[in-house]
Amino acid sequence: MDARFIRFDSVGAEQPENGWPTGTVGLQGSVTPTESGYYKPTLHKINGEWKMSTHRIYHDLTLAVPEK
C-alpha cells in the first residue's frame, strides 16, 4: 500500500486593473513544488480487518541548505 505525494505552493498573481486577457484560464501566478516523497505503511490483517502497524514517510525532494 505504498503511495507517492507531491506538495505544491501556489501563489496567485494580483488581477490586472483591466482584468485577465480573454482566454486566460488556470492559476495566474506561481506554482512551486515544495515537498515530495512517499508513504510506506506496514499492514497486518487482524480479525479479518487490515490494520496499520507503522506508517513511514520518506521525503525525496532535493533540499539545499545554506551554510551559516
The DSSP string of the chain is --EEEEEEEEEEPPPPTT-PPTT--S--EEEEEEEEEEEEEEEEEETTEEEEEEEEEEE-S-------
* Domain that residue 47 falls in: 1-8+31-63
pLDDT for the residue numbered 11: 92
Q: How many domains does the chain have?
A: 1
For residue 24, tell me if it sits in a domain.
no
Tell me how far apart the 2 most distant CA atoms of the chain are, in Å: 64
For residue 35, what is its C-alpha cell? 515537498
For residue 23, tell me if it sits in a domain.
no
Give pLDDT tens digits for 28-66.
Answer: 999 988 889 999 999 999 999 999 999 999 988 776 677
For residue 36, what is its C-alpha cell? 515530495
For residue 36, tell me if it sits in a domain.
yes
4 or 61, greater pLDDT:
4
Which residue has 486593473 as its cell numbers?
17
